[in-house]
Amino acid sequence: MLRSDTFNAKIVLVTGGRSGIGFQIAKDFLQLGAKVIICSRKEEQLQKAAEELSNFGEVTHQACDIRKTEEIQQLAKMIKEKYGRLDILINNAGGQFPALAEYINDKGWNAVINNNLNGTFSMIREMANTFFIPQKSGVIINIIVDVFRGFPGMAHTGAARAGVENLTKTLAMEWSDFNIRINCVAPGIIESSGLDTYPKQIQDMFEEAQKAIPLKRFGKVEDVSNAVTFLSSPMAEYITGISLYVDGAQHLNFDKMGLANVLKSFIS
Ligand SMILES: CCCCC/C=C/C(=O)SCCNC(=O)CCNC(=O)[C@H](O)C(C)(C)COP(=O)(O)OP(=O)(O)OC[C@H]1O[C@@H](n2cnc3c(N)ncnc32)[C@H](O)[C@@H]1OP(=O)(O)O
Ligand SMILES: NC(=O)C1=CN([C@@H]2O[C@H](COP(=O)(O)OP(=O)(O)OC[C@H]3O[C@@H](n4cnc5c(N)ncnc54)[C@H](OP(=O)(O)O)[C@@H]3O)[C@@H](O)[C@H]2O)C=CC1
């Protein structure tokens, strides 16, 4: 619904843009006139995605693990040299593994917190200091997870994403003086490449899980991307510090037969 020139001349960075939700976001920004940079850890897959995305506009890619500050700084340097500015940062990279809390060891907990909370913060800080604060303008969207009622079966990511949600509110206040808007998009369960990473026992629950969602279906990657492009656009210029739940009202009706129960059933 946005005009095809909505993001003309805008420079957009999409982390985790090589697959799933991030790929769709990158594609939509390109189709709305932006120049897009994608990053992720796996160079080969990243390059392949960039080639595919180049059918829709100007796309640049650079490998970057968001848990490594030096790699984020290298990415910022490349963007500065190539474009001289950054207008929009989409923090989409992330992930976790399903596990009941009592089975998560320190290494697993730290891996997920580093990926989803610490990595996201480092990316925001570096891009704000290099671009948004000196420019006195910027838009940041953090893709989190629907953690409105906690996240039984994935306590680590629930904690990390709640941290990002609260960070978003703080930065909306602290950085309003710099004309930086920052919001979260909180997807429910989205049919994307990400779901393929879950074990069969969990994938087997998906049909039943859809019945517990008020809108009776999982989301599409386009549903998430639509929320992201809207919140990034001038249509949302008075919106900052919020979380937009893209979940068919799942957050109001958290499934009691959910992930934790499935995990318990195949562990015991
Ligand atoms: C069910 C519906 C849910 C809907 C809502 C959410 C959906 C999504 O988010 S879909 C997107 C999903 N995509 C991913 O999650 C992919 C990305 N995931 C990862 O990259 C990993 O899971 C990561 C987040 C842990 C990062 O991996 P990395 O830092 O490379 O860490 P390692 O693989 O070396 O693992 C470190 C440590 O973590 C523990 N661990 C990792 N995987 C599992 C597992 N499957 N089960 C149990 N524990 C796991 C473990 O302690 C690992 O250390 P080692 O034991 O030494 O291997
Ligand atoms: N699908 C779903 O149901 C939901 C997904 N989400 C969240 O949306 C986001 C996208 O998920 P989705 O597209 O489904 O899943 P994918 O697994 O396809 O996407 C995750 C992306 O993040 C990248 N990534 C992961 N860790 C890092 C890292 N440390 N540094 C840089 N890039 C990284 C991956 O690329 P690479 O491996 O090359 O690094 C990949 O491109 C994730 O944050 C996910 O947790 C939230 C709610 C629901």
Tens digits of residue pLDDT in 196-246: 999 999 999 899 889 889 999 999 999 999 999 999 999 999 999 999 999
Residue 110 located in a structural domain: yes
User: What CATH number has the domain bearing residue 158?
Assistant: 3.40.50.720
Of all ligands present, the nearest one to the C-alpha of 248 is: 2
**How far, in Å, from the CA of 250 to the mean position of ligand 1?**
24
Protein residues with CB under 6 Å of any ligand 2 atom: 15-16, 18-22, 40-42, 45, 64-67, 92-95, 115, 119, 143, 145, 187, 189-190, 192-195, 197
Alpha-carbon 17 to chain mean position: 9
Cβ 144 vs Cβ 97: under 8 Å: no
Residue 1 located in a structural domain: no
Put residue 255 in one of left, alpha, beta given phi > 0 → left and psi -120 to 50 → alpha.
Answer: beta
What is the token pair recorded at 121?
């913060």
Please state the atom number of ligand 2 nearest to the C-alpha of residue 20: 13
Predicted local distance difference test score (pLDDT) of residue 30: 98
What domain range includes position 16? 11-197+218-251
Output the residue whose Cα is nearest ligand 2's atom 14: 194
Q: How many CB atoms lie within 10 A of CB 155?
A: 19
Please state the atom number of ligand 2 nearest to the C-alpha of residue 195: 1
Q: What is the mean pLDDT of residues 4-32?
A: 98
Residue 260 located in a structural domain: no
Residue 116 located in a structural domain: yes
What is the token pair recorded at 55?
């059918």
Q: What total of structural domains would you count in the chain?
A: 1
Of all ligands present, the nearest one to the C-alpha of 190 is: 2
Output the residue whose Cα is nearest ligand 2's atom 43: 94
Residue 119 located in a structural domain: yes
Q: How many CB atoms lie within 10 A of CB 56?
A: 15
Output the residue whose Cα is nearest ligand 1's atom 3: 189
Protein residues with CB under 6 Å of any ligand 1 atom: 95-97, 99, 105, 107-108, 111-112, 115, 145, 189, 194-195, 197-198, 202, 259
Tens digits of residue pLDDT in 31-88: 999 999 999 999 999 999 999 999 999 999 999 999 999 999 999 999 999 999 999 9
Residue 210 located in a structural domain: no
Tell me the C-alpha distance between 246 and 220, whole Å.
Answer: 10
Residue 60 located in a structural domain: yes
Residue 205 located in a structural domain: no
Q: How many CB atoms lie within 10 A of CB 79?
A: 21
Reported pTM: 0.96
How sure is the predictor about 254, in pLDDT bands with cuts at 50, 70 and 90? low
Cβ 142 vs Cβ 92: under 8 Å: no
Q: For residue 185, which of 218, 220, 120, 229 has the smallest C-alpha distance? A: 229
**How far, in Å, from the CA of 96 to the mean position of ligand 1?**
4
